[in-house]
Amino acid sequence: MKLSEAANIINGKLEGDPEAEVTGIGKIETAEDHEITFISNPKYEKYFDSTKAGCVIVSDGFEVTDNNAGKNISLIRVKDPYNSFLKLLEKFDIKEDITDIGISESCSIGTNVKTGEKVYAGINVVIENDCKIGDGTRIYANTYIGKNSILGKNCLIYPNVTIYKDTVIGDNVIIHSGTVIGSDGFGFARQEDYTYKKIPQTGNVVIEDNVEIGSNTSIDRATIGETRICKGVKIDNQIQIAHNVTIGENTVIAAQVGIAGSAKIGKRCMIGGQAGIVGHIEICDDVIIGSSVGVSKSITVPGIYTGYRFRPYREDLKIEARIRNLDKLEERIKKLESPGK
């Protein structure tokens, strides 16, 4: 597209030749002269001097230094370079026509299964009795869908996904390969002889609209009632969500997080990789939990929480600063205790 088109799409101010063309998007470190790139993080401003990109999307306040003032490079100035870049990325992401429609001959379809229009089920897909599959949903090879499950419209289920019975999935849900939805929660009652008796897991999993779930993630069915993933939630790869957990709208969870049973997580939260959340606690809306943080009690105040044992972000920084000064403090104490030396 022409740079004038790109600037119009992202509502930006172009500094350069409006008739110049770009044919794709590249990383600022490796982009070629026919590509457009962006700078949103100040850490990447250093690459502006060396990039070969034909155009760079920058913030309104980006300053061209004396070192690169003579560069023959166009700029598009915007309020938010990152989201502007995403808009252009969508334009350049040319999707193939969706031709995957129909039921493969190798599928196993149970009785009383209702499918909408333009549904696709690939090789070796198993759909058990009494399921409902919405219009435009695509289910790829070797996926299993347990009886009495409901999949909404325009869902995308990648190969080798397992969906247990009674699962309810909304519209526009994406589930990546290897994920298991609705497996038994980890429920065992200790007996007098120290053996463990399995607690029946009789509930289900409900996944609302516009949720995306990464690969090799497990979401357990409820012991009683439901495990619920609310609309707009984005879940990364290799995450464990236990029985009766509720995750609020538009929360995002990075890889290898573990959430124990009956925890309730609010709306618009962000949970960093490898964080661990104990069971039966509540996390309020608009909380950010850093990576590898252990959350052992409820959080009732929005904010950023970090540290091995979670603390408010600023408090954790103060403690870290004190720890770094321990060697200096030790030397001062030794001098005070031995003034003659």
Q: Which residues are catalytic?
A: 243
Q: Name 61's Cβ contacts closer than 8 Å, sequence gap at least 6.
A: none
Amino acid code (one letter) for 155 = C
Residue 263 near residue 275, CB atoms below 8 Å:
no
Distance, in Å, from the CA atom of 84 to the CA atom of 78, rounded to the nearest integer, reads: 7
Q: Please tell me the distance from the alpha carbon of residue 88 to that of residue 94, in angstroms, as a whole number.
A: 11
CA-based nearest residue to 38, from 7, 17, 69: 7
φ, ψ for residue 252, nearest 5 deg: -120, 140
Q: Collect all residues with Cβ–Cβ distance below 8 Å to 110 and sequence separation of at least 6.
A: 127, 128, 129, 130, 131, 147
Could you please report the per-residue DSSP string of 15-27? ES-TT-B--EE--
**283: Cα separation from own chain's centroid:** 18
Helix 313-324 with 326-337: angle, nearest 10 deg: 50
- 116, 96 contact by CB (below 8 A): no
HSE (CB half, 13 Å, CA atoms) of 289? 35
The pair of three-digit structure tokens given for residue 281, joined into one six-digit string: 């606690």
According to DSSP, the residues that pair with 168 across neighbouring strands are 150, 206
Query: 169 near 150, Cβ under 8 Å?
Result: yes
b/e map 47-80, b = 16+ CB within 10 Å: bbeebbbbbbbbbeebeeeeeeeeeebbbbbbee
